[in-house]
Amino acid sequence: MHNKIDRLFSHLWQDYLIITPSAKKVHDLLEGYESKHLGKTSKLVNDHIALRTFNIEKINLDKLAAHFLALGYTEQGQYEFVEKKLRAKHFEHTDDTHPKVFISELIVEDMPFDVQQIILKMTDNISDDAAAQDNFLYSGTHWQVSPQEYDVLAAHSEYAAWMSVWGFRANHFTVSLNHMGHFQSLAQINTLLKSEGFILNSSGGEIKGGPEVLLAQSSTMADKIEVQFTNCKKLVPSCFYEFAQRYKMPTGKLYQGFVAASADKIFESTNI
Ligand code: OOG
Ligand code: NI
């Protein structure tokens, strides 16, 4: 079971790094500081990863979640993003060394008709059993869109546009500050990353949340990657890297949930 989980996250990580070169740089930079602090090789710990999809039956949130439920994860929270027409759930494993998983889905019927048409065309040829395949969670797109279609999607939902280019894969990994030794705050990480030239998501402030909501988060802006569309190339946002600090609840345990108001801003790390 644990090997299977490690293998899945390793596939997701490798797939994510291919289109997120900045994440590899940030990862190695932070790990370098941590190793120096410890006096030996140190590994970063992931707080969570996130996946995206459409609420179309054969590929919906629950179909993605099934892979994690089969590995011993359970649903622990539900979230709504009315403005962005998104719903999300988060999943945790009983063994808390495994990252949490945040899965969202776009409510397609709440999109304008032309957006719905493009999404239905994209997903029409996916077979009913595709989402059950072992590699589905890092299978990328199962379709191609034109640059015009991408622009229509982006005008109404940056999330839909992101899905049209990147499909099924980890949208971000998140470093757990609670497991770090050298870094004491997100502000310290943010300062370092900015001095190294990385761009942070400043929507809603560089640090979203804080002790008062038991979770503080910051993230880079997604890398811009050249993508082949049906008839031309275009630079589009790929994936980003997140940093999270969790605080203790009155019970003394660290809060493990998400904060909808902060998540709403984290989604914008893939804005164009
Ligand atoms: C998920 C955004 C929310 C968090 O940690 O609050 C999130 C996404 O961008 O797909 O990851
Ligand atoms: Ni996140």
Give residue 138's pLDDT band: very low, low, confident or very high (50, 70, 90): very high
Give residue 135's pLDDT band: very low, low, confident or very high (50, 70, 90): very high
CB of 240 sitting under 6 A from ligand 1: no
pLDDT at 232: 93
Q: Which atom of ligand 1 is nearest to the CA of 171?
A: 10
pLDDT at 50: 99
Statement: residue 1 has pLDDT above 80: no
Round to whole Å and give the CA distance between 257 and 272. Answer: 28
CB of 55 sitting under 6 A from ligand 1: no
The pLDDT tens digits of the residues spanning 144-192 come to 999 999 999 999 999 999 999 999 999 999 999 999 999 999 999 999 9
Other beta carbons within 10 Å of 47: 23
Which residues are registered as beta bridge partners of 210?
215
Assess: ipTM above 0.85.
Answer: yes
Give residue 7's pLDDT band: very low, low, confident or very high (50, 70, 90): very high
> SS in 3 state form for 209-265?
EEHHHCEEEEEECCCEEEEECCCCEEEEECCEEEEEEECECCCCCECCCCCHHHHHH
Considering only CA atoms, which of 84, 101, 85 is closest in space to residue 93?
101
For residues 245 and 186, the answer to whether their CB atoms sit within 8 Å is yes
Could you give the number of structural domains in the chain? 1
The pLDDT tens digits of the residues spanning 189-228 come to 999 999 999 999 999 999 999 999 999 999 999 999 999 9
Question: What's the whole-number average pLDDT of the chain?
Answer: 97
Ligand 2: centre distance to CA 271 (Å): 15
Round to whole Å and give the CA distance between 181 and 178. Answer: 8
CB of 263 sitting under 6 A from ligand 1: yes
pLDDT at 230: 82
Copy the structure tokens of residue 176.
Answer: 């757990």
User: In terms of residue numbers, what domain contains 12?
Assistant: 2-270
For residues 20 and 238, the answer to whether their CB atoms sit within 8 Å is yes
Q: Among 52, 169, 186, 266, which is best to mutate for testing ligand 1, by the most ligand atoms less than 8 A from CB? A: 266
For residues 199 and 247, the answer to whether their CB atoms sit within 8 Å is no
**Domain of 209: which CATH number?**
3.10.180.50
Statement: residue 10 has pLDDT above 80: yes
Give residue 2's pLDDT band: very low, low, confident or very high (50, 70, 90): confident
The pLDDT tens digits of the residues spanning 39-55 come to 999 999 999 999 999 99
Pairing of strands 73-81, 215-219: unpaired
Give residue 263's pLDDT band: very low, low, confident or very high (50, 70, 90): very high
pLDDT at 175: 98
pTM above 0.90, yes or no: yes
